[in-house]
A and B are shown apart, each in its own frame.
Chain A
Amino acid sequence: MPNYKLYYFDGRGRGEFSRLIFAAADQQFEDVRYPQTEWPSHKQEMPLGQMPVLEVDGIKIPQSFTIARFLAKQFNLAGKDNLEQAKADATVDTIADLMAKLSPLMYDKDEVRKQQGIKKFQEEELPKHLQNLEKLAKLYGNGAFFVGGSLTWADLVFYEISNSLLKLDPNVLKDYQQLLKTRQEVEKHPKVSAYLKSRPESQF
């Protein structure tokens, strides 16, 4: 059994995708959480000076989606064959497109500009991303999960990102029945629901 260690900040962010995958697979791992004040002294230990990083039997892997995809494959949560894996990848890439627009706005230190930016994003940018995800879920899923007939990392990544979107606007998914359904399925998963109940609260 490989030894897994996940390094990230003490929050959900981009580390949470992997934590959800570990939870769904009921796999042990060392959950290393560096407070912001401690991070600078560990930065040069990480390949690209960033987190999350996964350490597997002593080898460090950076990049949040690479880590999540690697873990998903280890635990049979990537898709049952090459084509299903590609569908899961395409779904996650579509979520990544959404994050590429939203994340810079969330880090804006100017509070007024940040709120304006988020509002503009919600009105002008977000709908097409959600429509795209709804389309992919209908195209590749069986009515419950994003891909095929069972849970993949695409469902878990979407679950985590949609939590952030719902915090900004609790009604954001009201027109997207398929997306709401995948969230329900994730929440019904026994191991994931146990993890969601017990995970630490955090700002981000």
Chain B
Amino acid sequence: MRYERNEWPSYKSEMPLGQIPVLKVDGVKLPQSMAIARFLAKRFGLWGKDDLQQANVDTVVDTIVNLMNKFSPIYAEQDESKKKAEMAKFFPNELPKHVRNLDTLVKLYSDGGLFFVGNHLTCCDLEVYNILEYLLQIDENVLYSYSWLHKNREEVEKQPKIASYLKNRPARRSTTC
């Protein structure tokens, strides 16, 4: 279900926290994007094969959440000149340490393969893919010295079902991420 911005206010009160995304499953409404993603990843075998792998996936996800907590408010800023000033600070001063942290986790968990955890696609590869898409659109050199992160992106894009989804999904018009 995709709501247009002008439609959203009339649906807001139907959502547990007055926010979206919400997943409705077996009649239950679940808010919070990462809780939803984890629930679906578990159901579809994309969370990691054992407790420790799952913890590693969660660690990568939490590290992305740290990045998003800093980036999202800036991305959503309506005042264009304020947004430009904040972006100009974020990219050189804040973003590098988050990318470095992701690279550290790659070295710890990827086991020599091209996925973040356990040599198979998990939801954290998808979440890194998603957030990097926003960042690369603003600065295509974000992954400049991180060749593994490039290769991981290519690997995600090669997955047949994902390739087909990326080709066919509606063009994004949002101002939030």
Contact = CB atoms under 8 A, between A and B. Distances in A.
A52 to B, nearest CB: 12
A69 B16 contact: no
B164 interface: no
Contacts of A135: 16-17
A195 B155 CA distance: 48
A132 B29 CA distance: 14
A82 B42 contact: yes
Interface string A61-79: 1110111011001100000
Interface residues of B, number: 33
A61 B104 CA distance: 13
B11 interface: no
B166 interface: no
Interface stretch (B31-39, B79-87, B110-118, B135-143): B31-39
Interface of B: 16-18, 25-26, 28-32, 34-36, 38-39, 42-43, 51-52, 54-56, 58-59, 61-63, 65, 69, 101, 104-105, 108
21 contacts: A47-B104, A47-B105, A47-B108, A48-B105, A56-B52, A61-B59, A62-B59, A63-B63, A65-B62, A66-B59, A66-B62, A69-B55, A82-B39, A83-B25, A83-B26, A85-B39, A87-B28, A89-B39, A90-B30, A96-B65, A135-B17
